[in-house]
Amino acid sequence: GHAESGDDVHLLKPGQKRKLRSQLWFDNPANPGMTALYLERYLNFGLTREELQSGKPIIGIAQTGSDLSPCNRHHIELAKRTREGINAAGGVAFEFPVHPIQETGKRPTAALDRNLAYLGLVETLYGYFLDGVVLTTGCDKTTPACIMAAATVNIPAIVLSGGPMLNGWFNGERTGSGTIVWHARQLMAEGKLDYDGFIELVASSAPSVGHCNTMGTASTMNALAESLGMTLPGCAAIPAPYRERGQIAYETGKRIVDMVWEDLKPSDILTREAFENTIVVNSAIGGSTNAPIHVNAIARHIGVELDVQDWETYGHKVPLLVNCQPAGKYLGEEFHRAGGVPAVVAALMEKGLIHENAITVNGRSIGDNCRGKLTLDADVIMPFDAPLKAEAGFLVLRGNLFDNAIMKTSVISEEFRLRYLSDPKNPNAFEGRAIVFEGPEDYHHRIEDPSLGIDENCMLFIRGTGPIGYPGGAEVVNMQPPAELIKRGVHALPCIGDGRQSGTSGSPSILNASPEAAAGGGLSILQTGDRVRIDLGKGEANILLPVEELNRRRAELAAKGGFPIPQHQTPWQEIQRSMVDQFDNGMVLKPAVKYQRVAQS
């Protein structure tokens, strides 16, 4: 720490403002040498000593947008309004880059970079003279990476979402990000689209700046940042190009300055109550299956107990209110016009499902922010008692295949339900023959192989796709059946794996299996041809083999040196693999969790 700075706090007269963290760098008469060194280089682009030495809050703008990160690129514009807000409230703005995380551009997977961006941002927030920070969020992992870092450092922090793109349209139909890709793939498999037509259809879903306009992982995580209390009310849903987006960027800049004076920190906001609220909101919006990974990671870094079972306990019975793709019909523009997150929270509050006293960044409770803000469009945010789907949260499954995995039951299609979940004697269970793929490349090579004999009585498994195996975890569990089956009208087989799936996918896969095969989970000893039974009623998923046979296979695998892990391609892959936790524990870097509230130390 900077104990040498002296303890001016006790010398303050009433009404006088306290000395801020930044002044340990910029105004420390006890150490003129260091102060001058800290100061001089920040004067070289035109800042004045008055700005840096008069005790104004120094506010970081953590910039996640760049040409490499088109989902967040609009933040380059928005930061100008944020900066004006910071200045208007008497602060000084310092914009700086965050390691890019572009979901659609990064190989092997953007999820690998969440913890890297986290580490970089922790170091920046800790090591520089920032009194508070505006976290610019958008694309999937940018939101958790930023909030995780703010949780670890625990200086005042506020989230500014970039907002979703405008709605996509094609031939008079809404085309939603990501979701249209699954649809286009089916059309191509059915021979109804060629290469150019495929690209044209998919590109129609991205008509403006902003992040995915579906309720995929990006819109989910921004909505959850709001339900956690980390944004100003209504921030998450405003489409990126709307004027309100620039306006809330300005208000966010103003507000962070006051948060610094109030010393309102992430640890005041990210409480157990806020996390329970967030699980409930996630069900009501039809949130992504990536949410438990990222929200559990935030909880671990702020030091709140939260586990995967909490998602079923608090979330499973909550109905799906938001009629947005992939589960429903609409996109980001309608969700915003219908009232966005405050309207969802207001509806849940009426049923007593929200801890209303949880404090948010504006200094008021979520209850006071949202009470009575009910939707004016009940086709977009549907009534609690007449929802789009009942029981929209996740089920947690357990058994000899994994300690836990989750399933988003709200996206089970009628076709799927009729085929697998309508046995009158056992409506919640089904059995099938396992077809096992070793990662996405193997799946693509072999899915059309007729010798596998894949039919509607098969279950598709994919392994080697978890935090260690892939690495970072691949969004690959929602596997399309062979073209022959699709032509016969079988659009989805049960899919199970130790990877993730895109939040824009409408597939009821069983995913995020923990531990993954590469960490010794039961999937590592599964073989093609095994019978597997899934019982959604009992929450079980098991290979139907005697324990002796499972043990024999385990011993055999151990003798071969364990489940194979591919070669590291980059230094970070090796570093992350050596210390990453499993999906159920947030895929955090295990050694990082013990560092909490480091700005105070």
**Binding partner at 71 among ligand FES, Mg ion, none, C-beta below 5 to 8 Å by kind:** ligand FES
The count of residues in the chain is 601
**Binding partner at 177 among Mg ion, ligand FES, none, C-beta below 5 to 8 Å by kind:** ligand FES
Interface residue with ligand FES among 65, 176, 216, 239 (CB under 6 A) is 216
Torsion of CA 257, 262, 267, 272, to 10 degrees: -110
Tell me, by CB under 5 A, how many residues bind Mg ion.
3
Q: In angstroms, give the least distance from the CB of 104 to Mg ion.
A: 8
Contact between 220 and Mg ion by CB under 5 A: the answer reads no
Contact between 225 and ligand FES by CB under 6 A: the answer reads no
Residue listed under structure tokens 């760049």? 66
CA angle 82–242–505, rounded 5-degree value = 105
**Binding partner at 502 among Mg ion, ligand FES, none, C-beta below 5 to 8 Å by kind:** Mg ion
Contact between 218 and ligand FES by CB under 6 A: the answer reads yes
Closest CA relative to residue 363, chosen from 230, 223, 227, 224: 230
Contact between 223 and ligand FES by CB under 6 A: the answer reads no
Rounded to an integer, what distance in angstroms lies between the CA atom of residue 196 and that of residue 54? 60
For residue 509, report the phi and psi dihedrals to the nearest 5 degrees: -70, 160
| Binding string, residues 71-100; x marks residues near ligand FES by CB under 6 A | x-----------------------------
Rounded to an integer, what distance in angstroms lies between the CA atom of residue 210 and that of residue 7? 45
Strands 458-462 and 495-497: parallel
Q: In angstroms, give the least distance from the CB of 472 to Mg ion.
A: 11
Interface residue with ligand FES among 19, 211, 300, 500 (CB under 6 A) is 211
Q: Is 178 left (phi over 0), alpha (psi -120 to 50) or beta?
A: left
Q: In angstroms, give the least distance from the CB of 502 to Mg ion.
A: 4
Closest CA relative to residue 32, chosen from 53, 47, 46: 53
Rounded to an integer, what distance in angstroms lies between the CA atom of residue 124 and that of residue 128? 6
Cβ-contact 294, 221 below 8 angstroms: yes
Contact between 72 and Mg ion by CB under 5 A: the answer reads no
Q: Which of residues 121-180 bind ligand FES (CB under 6 A)?
A: 139-140, 177
Which is closer to ligand FES, CB of 226 or CB of 251? 226
| Binding string, residues 74-113; x marks residues near Mg ion by CB under 5 A | -----------------------------x----------
Tell me, by CB under 6 A, how many residues bind ligand FES.
10
Q: What element of type H or E holds 309?
A: helix 308-315
Cα 314 to Cα 243, 415, 459, distances in angstroms: 36, 28, 29
Structure tokens at 420: 């697998």
Interface residue with ligand FES among 31, 53, 87, 104 (CB under 6 A) is 104
Rounded to an integer, what distance in angstroms lies between the CA atom of residue 120 and that of residue 91? 24
Q: What is the 3-state secondary structure (H, E, C) of 345-378?
A: HHHHHHCCCCCCCCECCCCCEHHHHHCCCCCCCC
Contact between 475 and ligand FES by CB under 6 A: the answer reads no
Q: In angstroms, give the least distance from the CB of 141 to ligand FES.
A: 9
Which is closer to ligand FES, CB of 216 or CB of 432? 216
Strands 157-161 and 132-137: parallel
Which is closer to ligand FES, CB of 411 or CB of 523? 411
Q: In angstroms, give the least distance from the CB of 222 to ligand FES.
A: 9
Which is closer to Mg ion, CB of 353 or CB of 476? 476
Interface residue with Mg ion among 365, 502, 542, 576 (CB under 5 A) is 502
Which is closer to Mg ion, CB of 202 or CB of 302? 202
Contact stretch for ligand FES (CB under 6 A) within 211-219, 275-283, 516-524, 538-546: 211-219
Footprint of ligand FES (CB under 6 A): 71, 103-104, 139-140, 177, 211-212, 216, 218
Binding interface with Mg ion (CB under 5 A):
103, 475, 502
